[in-house]
Structure 1
Amino acid sequence: MAWIIIIVAGLFEVAMAYSLKMSDGLSHLWWTLSFLATAALSFGLLAYALKSLEVGTAYAVWTGIGAVGTAALGMLAMGDEVSFARIGSIALILIGVVGLNLAGSH
């Protein structure tokens, strides 16, 4: 169950980054409130999941979901540059998160 919570927390991290971008420097009230709400949910869920998970692995998965999800959202929906280097870097993040997770599972 804790891993599902980490995944949801990571998705809220993606929503947090999107809301922060859309807030235009925290100058749009509703996007700023969305940023604050999704940040609170993301961190709150992470804190709850850390009750039963190792901090290093859980944090790596949480940040990995946030980084990969935000980069993908930027490229797919927000006009961020798409390049082989960016896609390769996302793949390296995924490999690192999976590797860390497998290394901690004995």
Structure 2
Amino acid sequence: MAGIFEQLAERRISEALARGDLDHLPGAGKPLVFDDEPLLSPEQRMVNRILKNAGFTPREVLLRREIAALRQAVEALPAGAERDEKRRELLLLVQVAESRT
């Protein structure tokens, strides 16, 4: 159950929306971008931001991307030796990914 302050805030926001007071704010109509992860410590968020700005991609992310690309390749190939080889490569990568978790 919402308290009195939450109800008052909701009413004032609704009134401002009806008047159009919030129509021309920066970023209006665009999705919110949450770069920070709230469950991480401030230090870890800073480290993550530095690594991201430096273009660093964790090995796990690269591995998942490679697995996704191989899955698409396997599905696109006709049955045969090449598809079997790609499937073996995919299974190996999946095993490597599972061993890291």
TM tier, smaller:
0.3 to 0.5
Q: What is the TM-score with the length of structure 1 in the denominator? A: 0.34
Q: What is the TM-score with the length of structure 2 in the denominator? A: 0.35
More helix by share: 1
Task: Determine which structure has more spread, i.e. the larger CA radius of gyration.
Answer: 2
- The higher relative CO (CA closer than 8 Å, separation ≥ 6) is in 1
